[in-house]
Structure 1
Amino acid sequence: MRLLFTITILVFSLSVFSQKIIPLNTNVKASFRGLSVVDDKTVWVSGSNGTVGRSVDAGKTWTWLPVPGFEKRDFRDIEAFDKSTAIIIAVDTPAVILKTIDGGKTWKTVYENHTPGMFLDAMEFWNNDNGIVVGDPINGKFFIARSFDGGNTWTEVPSENAPAADSGEACFAASGTNIRILGTDKACLVSGGARSRLFIQNTPIDIPIIQGAQNTGANSIAIRDNNKSTSDYFVVVGGDFSKDTLKEKNCFITKDGGKTWIAPATPPTGYRSCAEFIDKNKIITCGTSGVDISNDGGLNWRNISTDGYHVCRKAKKGKALYLAGGKGRIGKLLNN
């Protein structure tokens, strides 16, 4: 019996510690913050210098898709639906949303906003039709726009119906994951800066994450079973991106939709800009100082890489998980 127990522990340990990131060759130098994984083979990325890329063979080869007229823009988020259809956001003024339906050969501007101070942060879709985009506050209200036709058109939510921001509170366009769907008809977002909060629809909930300065606060929220209306298990990550190895107050978990918060017994090993559930209990988080994995819902984290990544996303249809970051870095999680 003791021998069997020892063998079981050894097999479990080898399985856990075999988790690692496999670098993928891209031959580009862009900084990627947008990442959308359609299935195990179809991956889209977006980032600085107007860079958009696509792989249809699980990252073995990449096609780089220039967007004419946007060579100096930063595409901080991308939402892909298949190997032909994707939407990107150019974050700064003028804020622009573009869509391709031919695999990136051509792009159509589907939304443009020249309002001073406009800065789009992230985009999320419930399904192939219904989507939402969030931007930094304008006149004290977070900017929200909705699409109901697959991103072909966008309608701005009136400011009186948008969440109210505190002074110095905004969103980080760090990984496209500070806004997430919640069930079939709700969305939630996390903010940072002078104040860091969770908003479920328009209802604000304080988060005990580090905050109070422009470079602090929540960057990403991961929701377990986010397709269910009863989902209330959230993991929020962030920190201080100017001190990216700081572990203090960089991650919090709630099991009751934000009523109470739990700090991990073993936190991630620094500032983290993205978190993503791999399965019910396993979750990955990444940032400029490395990548961590938790096998118990975020209560304890283990570092698996010191390479920096901005974003990590799991396949919508499949099991593959990819990461993307600065200097053209793209990786794939092995044995996830």
Structure 2
Amino acid sequence: MRFVIVITLTLLGTRSFSQKIVPLNTSAKASFRGLSVVDDNTVWVSGSNGTVGRSVDAGKTWTWLPVPGFEKRDFRDIEAFDKSTAIIIAVDTPALILKTTDGGKTWKTVYENHTPGMFLDAMEFWNDDNGIVVGDPIKGKFFIARSFDGGNTWTEVPVENAPAADSGEACFAASGTNVRILSRDMACLVSGGTRSRLFIQGAPINLPIIQGAQTTGANSIAIRDNNKLKDSEYFVVVGGDFSKDTLKEKNCFITKDGGKTWIAPATPPNGYRSCVEFIDKNKLITSGTSGVDISNDGGLNWRNISKEGYHVCRKAKKGKAVYLAGGKGRIAKLENN
């Protein structure tokens, strides 16, 4: 009996590591950095050449929704609420935020900023009403704006209340997950470049991740969800050097105490990673231009499951499905063997 139990447990352990990346057939030509998964069936993507796409059948078919007049813009983040409603950000000057309520047939400009140097990086929502958008520093301060009406209007946070950035410090728009919900009324963000830090309520925390050059630093942070929207203290940060995307040195760190101390994985991700996402309490997925990795122990050990590059990976807000998107129109789904 003991022999049978051992074999059974071994097989179960093996099965838990049997995830695979399954590419989805699309006709897209764009590079995707924006991805929002509403539920197991409803997925939105956004990217270069003014491209927005939507699937309502778990990625089997896609509707491509070019935004008229914005064919040369790059939409690097998207936040979708249902099959009909989504918000996209156009990163460079002029910085723009657009919203659709009819499934992408028409778009309304809800925010526009012509300030020289404006570059929107990422967007996050607490719920259907309350959201935040962050951008690269302007005159030494990170740009932050808030919405309290579902993204219909946006209010800029006063410069004196915005976090101060060091020279050469900015945010990467590679995944939209460099800003995350931390609690019911707080968000945090990570920076990269010559300086890489975690900001909580504007207070900076130095990160041990590789930094010092414009191509280095933190790209994404994942927050363990305790399902109660109380303060969480378990964070996983990924990044690296995107100019050397197979480099494993100092590309991932974990904190279990809200940033007071940091732990390096025993087995790090297999290179630079631009996005990280919790799948459940202990399982995470991370993706970057050199591949995709899975962790089953809270980020302490990672296993490479694909050498194909993806800029972003996101789990369904209401469901369990996990999708990925990247360059050359690539969109995929995480599945179990």
| Shared fold, TM over 0.5 | yes
Provide structure 2 residue ranges, at least 5 long, that are not aligned to the other structure: none
Residue 27 (structure 2) pairs with residue 27 (structure 1): yes
C-alpha deviation, 1:27, in angstroms: 1.0
Q: Deviations over 1:182-209 (max 9, x none)?
A: 1110000000001000001201000000
* Partner in structure 2 of residue 183 of structure 1: 183
* CA distance in 2 between partners of 1:131 and 1:230 (Å): 18
SS in 2 for 1:304: strand
Unaligned runs of 5+ in 1: none
Could you tell me how far apart the structure 1 residues matched to 2:212 and 2:17 are?
A: 37
Aligned position for 1:332:
333
* Matched residue type, 2:89: I
- Per the alignment, residue 118 of structure 1 pairs with 118
Runs of 4+ in 1 over 6 A off after TM superposition: none
SS in 1 for 2:167: coil
Q: Deviations over 1:55-104 (max 9, x none)?
A: 00000000000101100000000000000000000000000000000000
Residue 212 of structure 2: aligned partner: 212
Q: CA deviation at 1:242?
A: 0.3
**Equivalent in the alignment of 1:54:** 54
d(CA) in 2 for partners of 1:335, 1:160: 49
- Compute the displacement of 1:8 (Å): 1.5
Structure 1 CA distance for aligned equivalents of residues 112 and 26 of structure 2: 30
For 1:266 and 1:281, locate their aligned partners in 2 and report how far apart those are by CA, in whole Å.
15
TM (norm. structure 1) is: 0.98
SS of the equivalent of 2:41 reads: coil
Q: Which amino acid aligns with 2:305?
A: I
What aligned pairs does 1:157-168 form with structure 2 within 5 A after superposition?
A: 157-168=157-168
Q: Which residue of 1 aligns with 2:323?
A: 322
1:157-176: CA deviations, max 9, x gaps? Answer: 00000000011000000000
**Partner of 1:99 in structure 2?**
99
Secondary structure of the equivalent of 1:9? helix
Number of residues of Structure 1 aligned to a counterpart in Structure 2: 335
Letter in 1 for 2:255: T
Task: State the partner residue of 1:169.
Answer: 169
What secondary structure, in the 3-state scheme, does the structure 1 residue paired with 2:16 have? helix
Greater Cα shift, 238-247 or 20-29: 20-29
Matches of 1:314 and 1:7, distance apart in 2: 29
2:311 aligned residue: 310
Q: Percent identical across equivalent pairs?
A: 86
Q: Say what the alpha-carbon RMSD is for the aligned residues.
A: 0.9
- Read off the aligned partner of 2:165 and give its amino acid letter: A
Aligned-partner residue type, residue 231 of structure 1: S
TM-score by length of 2: 0.98
Once the two structures are superposed, the pairs formed by residues 1-336 of structure 1 within 5 Å of their partners are: 1-13=2-14, 15-225=15-225, 228-335=229-336
Note the C-alpha offset of 1:319: 0.5
Structure 1 CA distance for aligned equivalents of residues 16 and 303 of structure 2: 10
- Give the letter for the 2:243 counterpart: S
Aligned partners of 2:126 and 2:163: how far apart in 1?
20
